[in-house]
Structure 1
Amino acid sequence: MNQLPNSIEARDVAFQLHSYMDARKHEENGPLVIEKGDGIFVEDNNGKRYIEGMAGLWSVAVGFGEKRLVEAAARQMEKLPYYHTFTGKTHGPSVELAEKLVAMAPVPMSKAYFTNSGSEANDTAIKLIWYRSNALGKPERKKIISRVRGYHGVTIASASLTGLPNNHRSFDLPIENILHTSSPHYRSMKKDGESEQDFAKRCAQDLEDMILAEGPETIAAFFAEPVMGAGGVVVPPEGYWEAVQPILKKYDILFVADEVICGFGRTGNMFGTETFKLEPDIMTLSKALSSSYLPMSALLVNEKVYGPVADESHKIGVWGHGYTASGHPVAAAVALENLKIIEERDLVGHVRDISPTFLKRLHALSEHPLAVESRGIGLIGAVELHHDEMSKTPGVLGARTNMAFHEGGLISRNMGDSMAFCPPLIISEKEVNDMFDIAEAGIETISKAL
């Protein structure tokens, strides 16, 4: 028998397939091994500390090493480590969390349904929407519209919603009945001389034109993030939502707000729905719901969605859908404690307080010769870079900049050539400045090398 590799890096390369990686390149370079975290920092297995400028994956709201979440998990583990929510069974944490989320919702919601990731939440939303159309006797109403550059997950259905090419290539996606309308990225999509408001109206007109071309009676729902995350942190232009929402109402199209990144304080309100005055019929939630300490996600649905679904389940005798870990008691207990921390420490207010410093430093990056634009709101943002000689291979400049940040002690994420910043909500003003000091130095290092 061959001897197993000794180091964790070698074992990783030998046995693990990673998400969002060039698998062959990973075999050559190996992983970054993170061993522990505290506050906004994580530390690798060589003792190097990094500012986690992405809050993990847009998600660790209360920071790393929060003992209250560890203790909440331990208490629930001892009491009831697992039970399901199939066939009318339940337990305290799932009931309390459902009640809490429905009460927190910024628009009237009827029921919560628990899943394990944002992808599963959006996938389930699609199934609910199709089920509802059948319940209403409208089987032709199955098409769903999302947006170019939108991100909604990686399951077969949610990856189809996602409007990013690499989530479709070689996967035989998107599936049938998923359509993509214009991205609301003003700088890259505007016409010469077009104002933000005129651009927003054109995006809305593109949406209406698609609805009319396909047939309004065939369109079931529109999915959108209040602020696009993995598509490059695209903040909608002035007037965008004011132009889009009336079109959805005009044609009686359900609106799904994907709050997986925006929810629980990221935009300066508890939900992006509040920030942009949205009126969704379904909200999908994850990430900061539990600060990703344990997998947890949810859908909130209003009565317009729930009523026909409930009637159809009565007609059939069952709503034939569910996940083994839906409403998992330990994950639900952690989510409840996480929400208590967000409220007790007024982290939403803290985001509002710290956002001016965050945005000032973010926008200062756009003054660098390598930068073409900065985009941000609340405590989420990105700076987009460009260099003529590297423009033929998008993403290479971003990847090099990412490595420069890494060398300086900052974990970011390049989405193409856009560098993202989405730190834990607990970050202090000093730590914001420290983070952008490293980013400035990293961009300057790359600039000099070029």
Structure 2
Amino acid sequence: MPLRPNSTEARDVAHVLHPYTNAVAHEAEGPLVVAGGDGIYILDGDGNRYIEGLGGLFCASLGFSEKRLVEAAYRQMQALPFYHSFGGKTHETAVELAERLKSLAPVPMTKVFFANSGSEANDTAMKVVWYYHNAIGKPEKKKIISRVRAYHGVTIATASLTGLPNNHRDFDLPIDRVIHTDCPGFYRYGRPGETEQDFTDRCVASLEALIEREGAETIGAFFAEPLMASGGCIVPPRGYYEKVQAVLRRHDILFVADEVICGFGRLGTLFGCESFGIEPDMITMAKQLSAAYQPISALMLNERVYGPLRDRSGTIGTFGHGFTYGGHPVATAVALETLKIYEERDIVGHVRAVAPGFQGALRRLGEHPLVGEARGMGLIGTLELVADKASREPFDPAWGVAAYAGRRAQAHGVITRALGDTVNLCPPLIITADEIADLMGRIGAALDDTWQWVQAGRRDAT
């Protein structure tokens, strides 16, 4: 019998230590127990349907009932349920997927390394940066620049790259060698009277000043998501990446593009790099690579990085890094089928067709008295909630206004995610225009509920 949400039985599963969860509140409330899925919807133990407005965790691109992916996993389980890539071994689906990814890459790439999550892919990229600079005789060139509000993972290394306070607080992070530069979010960080162009120039000048202050001879790489998703769906201003890349080239600093969320159609291009003119040395990817039906990630390296790595492994006798389940045959088989579906159904074209409606509805919600800015691109967006629209004053974090809005969205049948002051949306790529209208209507109802709650709280406070 399935567990019912918030039932006694459901509370018993609180023995699980849940990520990104207030453990005290969770012990009192219990989890939402998800029992099934159908297209863009999930179902709880009582059969209630919810629009999965975050695509699971920015990943369930083909929804929750794609039979072709189930069948691909089953076929591979029968043929070869497991093998690894250590010691020069491989299997057919890993080889085929690597070739396919190389053919799709937005810039020329030489090798593909498989892992199991975005965190592992970015962690690997960090290690490759260090290995590479040792290989080329620059052992001091090891610092890595990330950005405030970036999200690159939760391992010790990648949580250090991540520029969000709660990923550092009480974990004794960030580690040495990781430094952060400005977030390119104009709405929150632009100064009064400053144009977006002025803001861009200030961000780029700040980056160059950081490099000069630290010493370019000590900086190995710059990590960036094309669009900063978990940090609040921050779309950088026009021309930002062009100028950033000029700075990096001038100082001989590698560019690592984190395509874990943006990759495979989310922004209306196959890779986010294509949307912003980014030409990276390495690309990490995960999530939509398998439509979330299997854990898999990948790191692609260009020849500049791979050549010295190859030669150094010959000197040492090995490239001493890898994961037992990296390039797992079931995961790579499902990823291959996912890429076939993207191509056959023109998923990127579908995103381009429905994105204007999604973004238009999002902007209309931006007129709500609670919303300071509605922003996004393709099929991802956020609503930043503020206490005052004119001054952009944020709410007192103790109020938990965005979290309350997220709970009201769930009450209206939408799963979303509140991160700080933002309510985030990233639905499956298969969502239709009618489903978008339904999604946005429910979010609007949740905002109305939240507005009434805020007004009542303000009256009580006086």
TM-score (norm: length of structure 2): 0.95
Residues in 1 aligned to 2:130 and 2:160: alpha-carbon distance in whole angstroms = 15
Computed over aligned residues only, the root mean square deviation of the Cα atoms, in angstroms, reads: 1.1
Contact 1:39 1:63 in 2 (8 A): yes
Runs of 4+ deviating beyond 4 Å? none
Residues in 1 aligned to 2:52 and 2:135: alpha-carbon distance in whole angstroms = 46
The answer on 1:12 being equivalent to 2:16 is: no
Contact 1:395 1:415 in 2 (8 A): no
* Post-superposition CA distance 1:281-340 (Å, at most 9, x none): 000000000011110000000001101111110000001111000100000000000110
The corresponding residue for 1:369 is: 369
Among candidates 400, 406, 409, match of residue 405 of structure 1: 409
Report the residue type matching 1:231 in the other structure.
G
Aligned residues: 444
Partner secondary structure for residue 82 of structure 1: coil
* Post-superposition CA distance 1:327-384 (Å, at most 9, x none): 0000000000011001110010000000110000000011011110011000000011
The corresponding residue for 1:183 is: 183
Report the residue type matching 1:10 in the other structure.
R
The corresponding residue for 1:215 is: 215
TM-score (norm: length of structure 1): 0.97
Partner secondary structure for residue 103 of structure 2: helix
Report the residue type matching 1:432 in the other structure.
I
Following superposition, the deviation at residue 417 of structure 1 comes to 1.6
The answer on 1:446 being equivalent to 2:414 is: no
Residues in 1 aligned to 2:31 and 2:216: alpha-carbon distance in whole angstroms = 49
Residues in 2 aligned to 1:327 and 1:8: alpha-carbon distance in whole angstroms = 37
Contact 1:395 1:417 in 2 (8 A): no
Contact 1:201 1:239 in 2 (8 A): no
Residues in 1 aligned to 2:396 and 2:62: alpha-carbon distance in whole angstroms = 40
1:282-361 to 2 correspondence within 5 Å?
282-361=282-361
Residues in 1 aligned to 2:50 and 2:117: alpha-carbon distance in whole angstroms = 26
1:56-75 to 2 correspondence within 5 Å?
56-75=56-75
Report the residue type matching 1:438 in the other structure.
R
The corresponding residue for 2:4 is: none
Following superposition, the deviation at residue 144 of structure 1 comes to 0.2
The corresponding residue for 1:201 is: 201
Report the residue type matching 1:12 in the other structure.
V
The corresponding residue for 1:243 is: 243
Report the residue type matching 1:410 in the other structure.
V
Unpaired segments ≥5 residues, structure 2: 1-6, 456-462
Contact 1:144 1:178 in 2 (8 A): yes
The corresponding residue for 1:423 is: 427
Report the residue type matching 1:249 in the other structure.
R
The corresponding residue for 1:38 is: 38
Following superposition, the deviation at residue 10 of structure 1 comes to 2.6
Residues in 2 aligned to 1:328 and 1:406: alpha-carbon distance in whole angstroms = 35
Residues in 2 aligned to 1:252 and 1:121: alpha-carbon distance in whole angstroms = 23
Partner secondary structure for residue 114 of structure 2: strand
Following superposition, the deviation at residue 390 of structure 1 comes to 7.8
Contact 2:185 2:236 in 1 (8 A): yes
Report the residue type matching 1:89 in the other structure.
K
Residues in 1 aligned to 2:320 and 2:24: alpha-carbon distance in whole angstroms = 40
Partner secondary structure for residue 87 of structure 1: helix
Shift of the 309–232 alpha-carbon distance from structure 1 to 2, 3 Å rule, reads same
Shift of the 96–276 alpha-carbon distance from structure 1 to 2, 3 Å rule, reads same
Residues in 1 aligned to 2:439 and 2:200: alpha-carbon distance in whole angstroms = 33
The corresponding residue for 1:111 is: 111
The corresponding residue for 1:22 is: 22
Unpaired segments ≥5 residues, structure 1: 1-5
Partner secondary structure for residue 84 of structure 1: coil
The corresponding residue for 1:3 is: none
